[in-house]
Amino acid sequence: MSDITDKVVAITGASSGIGEATALLLAGRGAKLVLGARRADRLEALAARITAAGGEAIYTVTDVRRRDDLASLVALACDRHGKLDVLVSNAGVGPISFFDDLCVDEWEEMIDVNLKGFLYGVAATLPVFRKQGFGHFVTVLSTAGLRIVPQQGVYAGTKNAVRTISEALRQEAGDKLRVTGVSPGFVHTDFAETIKDPGSKAAVIAKRDRIAIPPEAIARGIAFAIEQPANVDVGDIVIRPTAQD
């Protein structure tokens, strides 16, 4: 019996990339998935794929910029399964650019999605975890916050803000709740699609195609943290390509 079996796991940003890979892996290990993302068609297809393989998955369209959407995602889990074991906060955007480009709208989007979206998830989930007496926050961060480079200042800043908040949350959580941060390096996802500058976008895609690891590598790290005994809190996991600086 897997320690993941029958755990109810909600995932934001579940329609592609790391979120999708995590959903598939956890479903295969017996978890009950509650999927959230903005793209309804992708969510429906993923839930159908999991169900066809013998797993269990439900979904609701979730834009983490909307606090009510996070509340609805958590409520769906509790209404259907009577509990929520894990919230995987995976939704994120990274339209990287130089500061001189003054892409203020994109800065705000990263703050809204990466930072405020995470906080909305905490606000929706923490009361449930407290009432249950158990629960696990798993948040996808980034190695961009560990090695700061040009064009990634605001993106790294949002990820490091979440890193700091997560550590404070861990200290306040007590002995019943768990808090894990997972920092992926270069992963083969559609991250570059939000980059507007053609040259920057092409450079990121070229590097991705050269060294990136598959999203399944991050999913395995997330599963590792979740499957630990209730009294074991895996604080931080860094997963990057061996070829990454």
Q: Which residues are catalytic?
A: 155
Decide the pairing of beta strands 86-89 and 8-12. parallel
- Residues 71 and 229: their CA atoms lie apart, in Å, by 27
Kindly state the tokens that stand for 134: 């158990």
β-strand partners of 177: 135
Contacts 24+ apart (CB under 8 A), 146-150: 146/183, 146/238, 147/245, 150/98
**What backbone torsions phi and psi does residue 55 show, to the nearest 5 degrees?**
-95, -175
Which residues on adjacent β-strands are paired with residue 140?
182
Structure tokens at 110: 């990263």
Matching residue, tokens 């696990």 = 136
